[in-house]
Amino acid sequence: MLPIKKDKPIPSLLIERDEAIDAFRIFIFENTYEEIKSNARVGIEDQQEFYDKFSKLQNNFKQKYRRTHYEVMNYLHFLSEVSGASSISVKHVSPDEINKIDEILKEYTDLILRSETEPVRLGSLGYGFKGFIYSVTGKYTDDQIRLLILEDFDKENKGLDKAIEFIEKLKEKFYGSSSEDISYNRPRIPESVRIEVWRRDGGKCARCGSREKLEYDHIVPISKGGSNTARNIELLCERHNRSKSNNVV
């Protein structure tokens, strides 16, 4: 058994710089409010006025970005851990340090983009690869750990490939062809192509990275001259596949 453990998925929340900075500002405002609350010399009226302003800021943030500033702050904390940016503390940031968020975002983006193609060290969290964080037990070099993660990923995908192949055989056994072929009356996607697409897309939706309710989708529909090759097929989650179907004329 490999000394590798797939711990958890990498957070998929994507944030813009303005959104992150707005969250920082609200967080600073909140910290100031906590200081005021703990100061006995401040009257109840002043505390209430400050609380009302803070609540308004939070509500405006949620209306603008459709998420709370707490979500973004937790995400930024994850970024600081990933990038190892110990000089930037999410919990103790001052207004003068707000623009340093660019450093965190750039470092994070570079690491996560690399982790889609190779195992990458994500600070103290472990190693990231194909959308997941991995931990390794034992004393190994970075190169050895990367090889162990690649081997673990390959074994897992081989198991998925066998499961897909088995399901296709069941479809052929009970329906004569896959349910997809029955519904759309089109040539069945060869099993070798399905496996190639699954490995290429990393077993997740090509649009959003979801690993739930995945479907094989033709980029150019068969009815419009598309082929059953890996270049013309991608993995999509049910939501994105349906939204695409609704837009096809």
List the CATH number of the domain containing 222.
Answer: 1.10.30
Pinpoint the alpha helices (H) of the chain: 17-38, 44-65, 69-83, 101-115, 142-175, 179-184, 191-200, 238-247
CB-CB contact of 68 with 8 (8 Å): no
Domain boundary among 90, 115, 140: 115
Answer yes or no: are the C-beta atoms of 59 and 22 closer than 8 Å.
no
Distance CA 112, CA 126 (A): 13
Please determine, for residue 180, whether its predicted confidence score (pLDDT) is greater than 60: no
Give percent above pLDDT 70 in the chain. 77
pLDDT band at 21 (very low <50, low <70, confident <90, very high): confident
Confidence of residue 184 (pLDDT cuts 50, 70, 90): very low
Do 104 and 179 belong to one domain? no
Q: At 215, which helix (H) or strand (E)? A: strand 214-218
Split at pLDDT 50, 70, 90, the class of 77 is: confident
pLDDT for residue 6: 83
Tell me if 175 is assigned to some domain: yes
* Shared domain check, 166 and 81: no
Q: What angle do CA 193, 195, 196 make, to 5 degrees?
A: 65
Residue 65 in any domain: the answer is yes
- Name the pLDDT band for 182 (thresholds 50, 70, 90): very low
The answer to whether residue 76 is domain-embedded is yes
User: Could you tell me the CA-to-CA distances from 88 to 21, 98, 99, 119, 240 in Å, in that order?
Assistant: 14, 10, 11, 25, 37
Half-sphere exposure of 22 (CA within 13 A, CB side): 19
Chain mean pLDDT for the chain: 76
- Tell me how many domains the chain contains: 2
Segment 82-110 mean pLDDT: 65
The CA distance from 220 to 228, in Å, is 10
pLDDT tens profile 186-219: 567 877 788 778 878 888 888 888 888 888 888 8
Task: Please identify, among 94, 115, 136, the residue that sits at the C-terminal boundary of a domain.
Answer: 115
Q: What is d(CA 235, CA 197) in angstroms, rounded to the nearest whole number?
A: 7
Provide the residue type at 24 as one letter.
F
> Angle, nearest 10°, between helix axes 44-65 and 17-38?
160
Q: How far, in Å, CA of 205 to CA of 186, rounded?
A: 22
pLDDT of residue 177: 52
Mean pLDDT of 172-196: 63
**52 is in which domain, residue-wise?**
11-115
62: number of Cβ within 10 Å: 14
| Candidate from 67-71, 91-95, 237-241 with smallest mean pLDDT | 91-95
| pLDDT, mean of residues 21-42 | 75
